[in-house]
Amino acid sequence: MRLRLTPASPCAPHERLYFLIGLIGAVAVGAVALGLLWRIAEAVRGRVMRRGRQARAAELEALIAELESRMSELTQQIGSATPEQVAELGTEYAQVEQQMQSLINEWAEMAA
């Protein structure tokens, strides 16, 4: 039997009603399934985002540790440098310190 939704449909009114109830049920089931799929997608996206943030946080921590090490080296070099070298090393120290502060700020924003 072929169902049509036109008023001239040869099926009985109760058959149309059953068809519409079935159609509404299918739409409702589809909506529930779509809602579940949406929730699953959001959960997966959240996990991926957390993993990405965790990876970036670890990368920032490693970069900060490298910069701290370089600042320590520069401090030692400044202690035994000539006046000309002190200016050069001081400039590099300031640049490294600025980079480190930028990374620390980014890390702090991620932690918040």
Q: Is residue 87 part of a domain?
A: yes
Write the pLDDT tens digit of every residue in 19-77: 667 767 777 776 677 777 777 777 777 787 788 888 888 999 999 999 999 999 999 99
Domain of residue 93, residue span: 31-111
Q: Is residue 13 part of a domain?
A: no
Flag whether the pTM goes above 0.85.
no
91 — pLDDT class (breaks 50, 70, 90): very high
Is the pLDDT higher at 35 or at 100? 100
Q: Is residue 20 part of a domain?
A: no
Q: Is residue 5 part of a domain?
A: no
The predicted pLDDT at position 73 comes to: 93
Q: Is residue 4 part of a domain?
A: no
Q: Is residue 75 part of a domain?
A: yes
Alpha-carbon radius of gyration of the chain: 33
Q: Is residue 39 part of a domain?
A: yes
The number of distinct structural domains making up the chain is 1
Question: What span, in angstroms and rounded, lies between the C-alpha atoms of 84 and 82?
Answer: 5
Q: Is residue 68 part of a domain?
A: yes
